[in-house]
Structure 1
Amino acid sequence: MPHDPTTDLQQRVQVLEAEREAWQHALTLFSEAPAPYLLLNSQGRVQEANAAACTLLGYGAEALRGRPFARFLSPGGQGTFEWLLGQAGGPAPRARAEAQLLHADGTLLDVLLDLAAPAPGSGPGPLRLIVTDITPYKEAHRSLLDTAASQDAQLQAGATRFRAAQQELEGVVTVVVQQLQLPVARAMNYLGLTRRALGEEVPEAVARPLLQSERAVQQIIALLASVDRYLQMRRMRLGLRRVDLERVLREVLKHAQPMMADRHVHITHDPLPTVQGDSQALFVILDEYVANALKYSKGREIARIHLRVRETDTEYHIGVEDNGAGFNMRQKDRLFHLFGRLHPSRSYEGTGVGLVTVRRLCERFGGRVWAEGKPDQGATFWFAWPKPPVLLD
């Protein structure tokens, strides 16, 4: 059967019509796309721009054709666009960057540029550029940064005022303590002289109030000494070095000798580690814990005190265990607070400041404190010492 050229022509026309319709459809999608969309040649000149791109730039499509897109960017954005062109011509067919776009009315807009080259193997074609206006997001981001900077400045100013107020308060308390020490010492001496002047044959009605007055003044003296030691601890200049806790304990036990006089005291300890810390601070901590154990075990025929050591990957746990009066665990949260006594002062002397001093010192090295006990079955007071510690203000 002979070949019919008319049939070939009709098929060719149909193919061309389909291609034209597809092209028209693609042009419609391009023109009506909601995102600003431009087609560029390899030098970055505009070949086509859709309606959204014209609106964003403030120019008509005819005014844009043939012009370098970089001219619509700020000087800094022009360098960014040149980098994008280089990226699109390389092995990565897509590149993205932020820039500033210059609108026809002179307004600068923050934009996100997405530049894509034709897919590998698809042949030559225009570069596709999508321009997204991110001005509202950048303004919101700048506003958040400004707010954060303002809040940070306010916090810094508040912290400065707090430190100044704290230093002023500590100064006032220090002066009050110093000013009270002399008159209180004089009052104690006066009461002693009065008692001696009255002699042995003193009526109960006189002797009892006199004795109570002496005890009250002694408590005031002890309280002043404790507050003074607490203030000294807060001003203590601390450092980090290797500290042998065995050596520190020996010094603590020497200092505790007056409390152990005329008593049966048995003190033992696990092998104590060498830690990173401050020897003066660790002396105060162990001194307070040992003194606390001696005080609350004074009612025992034999006071037994043992220093326990536990070790984790990050900390040493040092505990001072005694067989003394103990305490109810429901009240443990009061122990390390200022004046947080659990026992009446008439039974056990003290001011409720020593354990606060321990807590504060431990916290300055990133440590912590806690206690375990049972009524009339003794207690163990612990502190956790980091390895290595971080010295805090």
Structure 2
Amino acid sequence: MSAPTTPRVGGRVTLRRRLLRLLVTAAAVLALVVVGAAVVLGRVVERQDAVTQTYFEAITQADGAYIQLVDAETSVRGYALTGDEVTLEPYHRALADDLSFRVLAEREREHGADPELAAAAQAAADAGARWNEEFAQPTMAQVASDGTAAVTTEEIEAGRQLFDEARAEAETYISLLRDRRTAAVDELSHWMLVAALSVILLVVAAIGVGVALWVALRRWVLEPLDELATDARAVASGELTHPVDTTGPGEIADLADDVERMRVALVTEVRAVEQSRSEIAEAHDQLTAQAEELRRSNRDLEQFAYVASHDLQEPLRKVASFTQLLQKRYGGQLDERADQYIDFAVDGAKRMQRLINDLLGFSRVGRHGGEVTDVDLDAAFAEAVDNLEERIAETGAVVTHDPLPTVRGEEALLVQLFQNVVGNAVKFRAPDRVPHVHVSARQVGDEWELECRDNGIGIDAQYAERVFVIFQRLHAKDVYEGTGIGLALCKKIVEFHGGRIWIEPSQDVGTRILWTLPAPAFDTLTA
């Protein structure tokens, strides 16, 4: 197996070539045994056919021809004694039948396999023909013309001798056939024994080839793979310093080399990971500290916004009250510019009050939470519309909705959510058409997707994200009033409830604001 011409992988004999040589040798041995068995089987089939077909049919036909010959001689003798033509029936039947030694002789000559059989069959046919031509036909003609007394004892004796010669030749032919069949039976027995030995040899060869393959596979594949697997398991269990030995034929040895290189690379990577682990832990500690600081800063900021908004309420109320009182008492008594200044002060105080209220509401979301209950959005929507009743009546807006579901949440916040989106839709109406606002809902997976659609002035797609940022306005305050907190408050309410909010482009006019809310397992649309 280690001849100089054997290809090598990395200086080692390849498993492919070893297996190829082994399989070629095994195939050659099996092929020789199979070819020998096929030859033996062919001889068995040939001898069996000769015994059961060729010689059996030949003997059967020869016996039939012999019986017909005897019957013909008996019928001619009976006719010579009685003159009754009925006794000639076996003779005529034998002439009409194609089964005769003449036919058998012709068949033997056609086959040409055994000249001795052909000569014996021809001799029997010639003897039978002489008896027929020299005795049977003349005797029948003589009896037919002159009667039974015309046949002399000498003629009958001569006929008997001719028939004895024909019968002797027929028996010789039949005996020769039986000898040939006996020889064929003996030969068949011999080849049957050889066939049985061939089958045994084939089984032994197959077992030997199987054992050789198993031994070769165990030595060349299983044992090296077991050793490689043992080393690999040791490395996989954490023994990274355990070396992987190179054993076995070329391919398996190359695989072991690859595993060893992988182990070395893994050791290098592990060392690098261990080296950077401390750095990651240190960075994690810093991030944790920064996150805690950020949470504290957010709490302080929210507390500051709440306190600042709350504490500004009292002085702002005084400013608003006295400016309104000043406007009521002295309006029209001063010059036009003084009245304008007073109006500016009153308007600024009102807008400041709205801004502080909105900012206070924004800071309260998620801080001073109310009770989380099952909220009927139909009822929440109706309450929001009631709160907007005056503005809806002033604008003539048409506000409708589809059946809305029941969700888990804070009712006050969800009412505020509907109030803001519907209020925005009414506020940003188109001047040339009656405002139409419609709210719908559909279930998408495990959440409800709600939509507020209107036919107002719409929102440009480039500002679809900006409108949800606090204090962001797309229009001047003298065109559309507001503080720029409404949609930012909507976003905070939706996210507080575990949903998301966005703006979809409208196919015609107006705005489509969509948001999602988690859907409890029992959720169904209310009628």
Q: Aligning the two structures, in what range does the TM-score lie when normalised by the shorter sequence?
A: 0.5 to 0.7
- Aligned partner of 2:297 in structure 1 is 165
Percent of matched pairs sharing the same residue: 23
Q: What is the rounded CA distance, in whole Å, between the counterparts of 1:361 and 1:273 in structure 2?
A: 17
> Contact 1:97 / 1:113 at 8 angstroms: preserved in 2?
no
The residue matched to 2:476 in structure 1 has which SS?
A: coil
Change (3 A) 1:162 1:198: same
Q: How do 1:104-143 and structure 2 match up within 5 A? A: 110-112=240-242, 114=244, 135-143=267-275
- Is structure 2 residue 339 aligned with structure 1 residue 207? yes
Unaligned runs of 5+ in 2: 13-221, 250-255, 522-527
Change (3 A) 1:373 1:364: same
Task: Identify the structure with the greater helix proportion.
Answer: 2
Q: Which moved more, 1:312-321 or 1:172-181?
A: 312-321
Query: Per-residue deviation at 1:233?
Result: 0.8
- What value does the CA root-mean-square deviation take over the aligned residues? 4.1
Per-residue CA deviations over 1:294-353 (Å, capped at 9, x if unaligned) read: 322395774321113344335433222223333333333321111111122112221001
- Is structure 2 residue 97 aligned with structure 1 residue 97? no
Q: What is the rounded CA distance, in whole Å, between the counterparts of 2:334 and 2:504 in structure 1?
A: 46
Q: What is the rounded CA distance, in whole Å, between the counterparts of 2:467 and 2:433 in structure 1?
A: 26
The residue matched to 1:208 in structure 2 has which SS?
A: helix
AA in 2 matched with 1:228: L
Moved over 6 A (4+): 115-119, 128-131
Change (3 A) 1:277 1:170: closer
Q: What is the rounded CA distance, in whole Å, between the counterparts of 1:190 and 1:148 in structure 2?
A: 61
Which residue among 459, 462, 470 is the counterpart of 1:327? 459
> Contact 2:366 / 2:496 at 8 angstroms: preserved in 1?
no
Q: How do 1:270-349 and structure 2 match up within 5 A? A: 270-297=402-429, 302-313=434-445, 315-349=447-481
Greater RCO, 1 or 2 (C-alpha within 8 Å, sep 6+): 2
TM-score (norm 2): 0.48
Q: What is the rounded CA distance, in whole Å, between the counterparts of 2:298 and 2:394 in structure 1?
A: 43
Q: What is the rounded CA distance, in whole Å, between the counterparts of 2:471 and 2:346 in structure 1?
A: 21
Query: Per-residue deviation at 1:241?
Result: 5.6
Query: Per-residue deviation at 1:359?
Result: 1.4
> Contact 2:430 / 2:455 at 8 angstroms: preserved in 1?
no
- Is structure 2 residue 384 aligned with structure 1 residue 384? no
Which residue among 143, 166, 188 is the counterpart of 2:320? 188
- Is structure 2 residue 502 aligned with structure 1 residue 370? yes
The residue matched to 2:416 in structure 1 has which SS?
A: helix
Q: What is the rounded CA distance, in whole Å, between the counterparts of 2:375 and 2:329 in structure 1?
A: 52
Q: Which moved more, 1:157-166 or 1:243-252?
A: 243-252
Per-residue CA deviations over 1:38-64 (Å, capped at 9, x if unaligned) read: xxxxxxxxxxxxxxxxxxxxxxxxxxx
Change (3 A) 1:239 1:193: closer
Query: Per-residue deviation at 1:379?
Result: 2.2
Q: What is the rounded CA distance, in whole Å, between the counterparts of 1:277 and 1:92 in structure 2?
A: 63
Q: What is the rounded CA distance, in whole Å, between the counterparts of 2:392 and 2:460 in structure 1?
A: 26
Q: What is the rounded CA distance, in whole Å, between the counterparts of 1:201 and 1:331 in structure 2?
A: 47
TM-score (norm 1): 0.62
Q: How do 1:211-250 and structure 2 match up within 5 A? A: 211-237=343-369, 242-250=374-382
Unaligned runs of 5+ in 1: 1-14, 30-87, 101-108, 120-127
Change (3 A) 1:308 1:112: farther
Change (3 A) 1:97 1:140: farther
Per-residue CA deviations over 1:115-137 (Å, capped at 9, x if unaligned) read: 89999xxxxxxxx9997555433
Q: Tell which structure's C-alpha radius of gyration is larger.
A: 2
Query: Per-residue deviation at 1:221?
Result: 0.5
> Contact 2:429 / 2:435 at 8 angstroms: preserved in 1?
yes
